[in-house]
Structure 1
Amino acid sequence: MKLLAGPCVIESEENIFTIAKALEKYQEDATIDFYFKASFDKANRTSLDSFRGLGMEKGLEILQKVKDDFGYKIVTDVHESIQVEPVAKVVDMLQIPAFLCRQTDLLVACAKTDKEVNIKKGQFINPPDMRYSVMKVLKTRGCDEVSYENAQKHGIYLTERGSSFGYGNIVVDMRSLVIMREFAPVIFDATHSVQMPGALGGKTGGDSSMVPYLASAAAAVGVDGFFFETHFDPSCALSDGPNMVKLDELEKLIEKIKKIQAIK
């Protein structure tokens, strides 16, 4: 099982290392393929006044230190094609944000690297249409047939993070996990799936109490991995705090997921 976990954004080097240290148990777990996740820039914040991060240069410096000190594989977001080359020198997996999942130049730039590519499904996208995003990466890498096996071979993943349901709400249609898994390995992002966009007056809200239920349902349906944003104190997190899982609650949730998967 792949596990992508870490804070939403790099708030400071001290915070990152505190969280990274708390996640060591997953690196040591032979049943888990662990990736440390943190963003150097949150370019799609609701408000111009919202905290975005420390920027690419400082952010990559910190992620490299995490990689060197803990031996973690790293995943982070890229928002523009020009970011891909420098980011790929540090990370093991390039992540395409949901709002950019159809951005051809960005997908092609990521495909031209030797890194894994995680494409987050847009909140506005019909799940079957995500095959075309997968196709852009595969074709750039010299493969003309879209299939689960080919996507897996080329390190391409799709992440389900819910779909817009009216204004200010996101829901997860569990059918999308089955549909998208026909043509790519699927990771379930349980924390972004409980977001409530714009609910906090210029900021995104959320309901983290629903995370364990959605993660359990996804485990029962069948996925290839999970994505959790986590923090030692979500109430003071500078981005996405309302939908984060506390570090001391994540271990219990992972164990529950393992038990559900074992039934299958």
Structure 2
Amino acid sequence: MLASLAKALPHFRNTNSGQFFLMAGPCVIEGEDMALRIAERIKHITDKLQIPYIFKGSYRKANRSRLDSFTGIGDETALRILQKVGREIGVPTVTDIHESDEAARAAEYVDVLQIPAFLCRQTDLLVAAAKTGKVVNIKKGQFLNGEAMRWAMDKVNGAGNPNVILTDRGNSFGYSDLVVDFRNLPTMRQFGVPVVMDVTHSLQQPNQASGVTGGQPALIETIAKAAIAVGADGLFIETHPTPATALSDGANMLPLDQLEALLQRLTRVREAVRPAGDIDPHGLNA
């Protein structure tokens, strides 16, 4: 399943653990020291557990509820930090883009370009990301089912890029809540691409009266375990040393000091559901 991803991300080629992979980091790049400390800590944990790791950090937050919400420390500054994380920590990096003209610029600094859920139908954005040759992680819209994501994937493939990841992050439920339909993971996996569960964003409670998104972080382990059990290839988890002081999405992030124990438990779930004799189910060495 992950053979094409292994070819596109050299860091993954020597992994033979049979584990899921992890996309994790802060919601937004708040500063260089913070980003490097988080990445170094997660890399230490994932190396120990033999979990392939991609560092995640938004260089700019374009989708905010309020005008006065924090959006970033400056595009060039944040992108250079992402590049430094990749080089110094030795991991692939991912960031999200929102406009077609951001794709080529961001691609100079990161390994994976992420398409936000609200924008997964934007043809020009998908094609621009595809043309960079980078891996493209497309988040499933909160308004779509898994089957509909084949068309988003086809836009990237049709532009000449076979390196696609599809990520679920729940579906809109009422006006200020999300619900996860785990049928979407095996549905999208049938398309032959790696499928990820965005655990923390699936627990958001958007559009609160205060204009600040809420969340249910107590359910992070529940959603993550269920995703692994139904065959997710990877997990997406936003984490921060002190979520209460995070500048974006702190209400649904996992405290960094809880990550190792959670991943230890999740590796046991993965081992329990892995078919007998399936040494390298993701094809990471293909």
**Residue 222 of structure 1: SS of its match in structure 2?**
coil
1:32 paired to 2:51: yes
Instruction: Report the counterpart of residue 276 of structure 2 in structure 1.
Output: none
CA distance in 1, matches of 2:46, 2:88: 12
Instruction: Report the counterpart of residue 194 of structure 1 in structure 2.
Output: 203
1:85 paired to 2:104: yes
CA distance in 1, matches of 2:197, 2:133: 23
Instruction: Report the counterpart of residue 261 of structure 1 in structure 2.
Output: 270
**8 Å contact from structure 1 (residues 38, 76) kept in 2:** yes
Instruction: Report the counterpart of residue 247 of structure 2 in structure 1.
Output: 238
Instruction: Report the counterpart of residue 139 of structure 1 in structure 2.
Output: 158
Which structure is higher in RCO with an 8 Å CA cutoff and minimum separation 6?
2
Instruction: Report the counterpart of residue 174 of structure 1 in structure 2.
Output: 182
CA distance in 2, matches of 1:72, 1:139: 28
Q: 1:71 aligns with which of 68, 79, 90?
A: 90
- Give the count of matched residue pairs: 253
Deviations 1:146-175 (A, max 9, x none): xxxxxxxx2201101000001100000011
Percent identity of equivalent pairs: 51
CA distance in 2, matches of 1:263, 1:21: 29
* Runs ≥4 residues deviating over 6 A: none
Instruction: Report the counterpart of residue 226 of structure 1 in structure 2.
Output: 235
Q: 1:11 aligns with which of 24, 27, 30?
A: 30
* Segment of structure 1 superposing worse, 13-22 or 236-245: 13-22
CA distance in 1, matches of 2:75, 2:118: 19
Instruction: Report the counterpart of residue 7 of structure 2 in structure 1.
Output: none
CA distance in 2, matches of 1:12, 1:157: 27
**Residue 43 of structure 1: SS of its match in structure 2?**
coil
**Residue 114 of structure 1: SS of its match in structure 2?**
coil
CA distance in 2, matches of 1:36, 1:3: 8
Instruction: Report the counterpart of residue 129 of structure 2 in structure 1.
Output: 110
Give the superposition deviation at 1:30: 6.9
Structure 1: unaligned runs, 5 residues or longer: 143-153
Instruction: Report the counterpart of residue 100 of structure 1 in structure 2.
Output: 119
Instruction: Report the counterpart of residue 147 of structure 2 in structure 1.
Output: 128
Q: Which amino acid in 1 is paired with 2:157?
A: L
CA distance in 2, matches of 1:170, 1:65: 35
CA distance in 1, matches of 2:149, 2:186: 13
- How big is the alpha-carbon RMSD for the aligned residues of Structure 1 and Structure 2? 1.3
Q: Which amino acid in 2 is paired with 1:171?
A: V
Give the superposition deviation at 1:27: 5.1
Instruction: Report the counterpart of residue 220 of structure 2 in structure 1.
Output: 211
TM-score in terms of structure 1 length: 0.92
**Residue 180 of structure 1: SS of its match in structure 2?**
helix
Structure 2: unaligned runs, 5 residues or longer: 1-19, 274-286
